[in-house]
Every structure is written in C-alpha cells, then in structure tokens.
C-alpha cells in the first residue's frame, strides 16, 4: 500500500529490491526505535552526530523503520507513524528543559517555513505536535542530512482496538482540517512528494 501511494518512492527504488524492515519485527518484540535507528546503516551513522543540532537526544518513537535501496546505490529511509483514531492526532509538546524547547521550536519553525506554512507556531506545537515533529524529521533527514527519506502515515480504518472507529471519510476530513490548520500548501515543497498516506482496514472484534 505504501508503494502504491508513492510514485516518488517507486521511482527511487532499485528494480527487484525489497525494503529491509528493521521495525516492527516480531522476533525483536516489536521494538520501536528512536534516534538510534540511524545506527542501523553505515550510510546513516554520520547523521546521528549531526542530529543534536536539530533535535534533543532521544527523538520521537517510530512505529516502523525500513531501508530502501535506490537505483544509484544510495540507501533511502522509510519512517512509519501509525494511528487508529483521529483523536490520537491531537498532541502538545511535552519537553520542559529550556534548551530542548528552544531547539525544537527552532527546528519546527524552519520546517514550517519549508512547507510554506504561515500558521502560528502554537498550532504546530500545541495542537498537532506529534505530526509536526514527524514532519520535522522528514525535513531534517532530506534537507540537512541528504538521506532520501519518506514518511508514511498509516491510518487504520474502522479499527475497534481503541473502542472508537474512524471511517475513511472521517480520516480524509480530518487530514483536510489538519493541513488547513497547519497551513501546509500543496505547491510549497517537494517534501510533500515524500509524505505518504495510506488507509488500511483496522482490527475488528
């Protein structure tokens, strides 16, 4: 589903090569990586030392990590964020250390500009912070680290695991609202070509 929803990822991939998934893996108890995912490939390791210039040490927790082999021998990166209900999208910054807050705000402000957004920082930090920091990593890795990176937003449709289901129409309406509130313009950034949204069927019963 991710490939079907991303022509840019298909174009990048070397023909006949599969993605190498590092997370979630059953034999590793579905480990979720933070910034240590940059240790998984030699091509990415140098970026880990640079990350401190853009984000605090741990970084967000990722639902999935995969390596994608490119036609030119480069190793691309796929980051996955999964949700089962629209209410999970509402979030606020939790950092309290002043240096961490300053670093996050500086990077999100730069990310926001990269997406052509003129919305208030409050929207990115206190309404949709989790999406904001995922977009920040998409920005940092592509623009600063020069690692070809894609962000897949996996939105489960009619999933009953949280006791509340979200229909496909509700997801689509929600993303229209989110992108409008965050003022992400469709023609503002090539990074939108690295953002993938899919809507698989969720768990029943």
Q: What is the pLDDT of residue 29?
A: 66
The helix (run of H) or strand (run of E) holding residue 114 is helix 98-114
- Give pTM, 2 decimals: 0.94
Q: What is the pLDDT of residue 52?
A: 93
Q: How many CB atoms sit inside 10 A of residue 85's CB?
A: 19
Question: What does the pLDDT look like over 69-93, one tens digit per residue?
Answer: 999 899 999 999 999 999 888 999 9
| Cα end-to-end distance, the chain, whole Å | 23
Per-position DSSP letters for 4-55, written without gaps between them: TT-HHHHHHBPTTPPPEEEES-GGGTT---SGGGGGSSHHHHHHHHHHTTTS
Beta carbons within 8 Å of 144's beta carbon, 6+ residues apart: 50, 54
- The stretches in the chain having pLDDT less than 50 are none
């Amino acid at each position: 589903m991710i490939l079907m929803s991303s022509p840019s990822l298909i174009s990048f991939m070397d023909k006949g090569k599969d993605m190498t998934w590092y997370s979630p893996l059953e034999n590793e108890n579905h480990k979720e990586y933070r910034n240590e995912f940059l240790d998984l490939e030699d091509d990415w390791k140098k970026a880990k030392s640079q990350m401190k210039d853009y984000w605090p040490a741990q970084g967000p927790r990722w639902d999935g990590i995969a390596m994608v082999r490119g036609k030119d021998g480069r190793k691309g990166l796929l980051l996955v964020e999964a949700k089962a209900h629209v209410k999970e999208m509402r979030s606020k910054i939790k950092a309290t250390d002043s240096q961490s807050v300053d670093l996050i705000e500086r990077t999100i402000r730069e990310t926001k500009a990269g997406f052509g957004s003129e919305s208030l920082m409050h929207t990115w930090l206190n309404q949709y912070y989790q999406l904001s920091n995922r977009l920040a990593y998409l920005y940092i890795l592509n623009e600063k680290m020069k690692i070809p990176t894609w962000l897949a937003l996996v939105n489960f449709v009619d999933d009953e695991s949280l006791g509340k289901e979200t229909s496909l129409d509700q997801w689509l309406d929600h993303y229209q609202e989110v992108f409008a509130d965050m003022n992400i313009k469709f023609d503002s950034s090539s990074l939108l070509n690295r953002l993938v949204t899919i809507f698989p069927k969720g768990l029943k019963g």
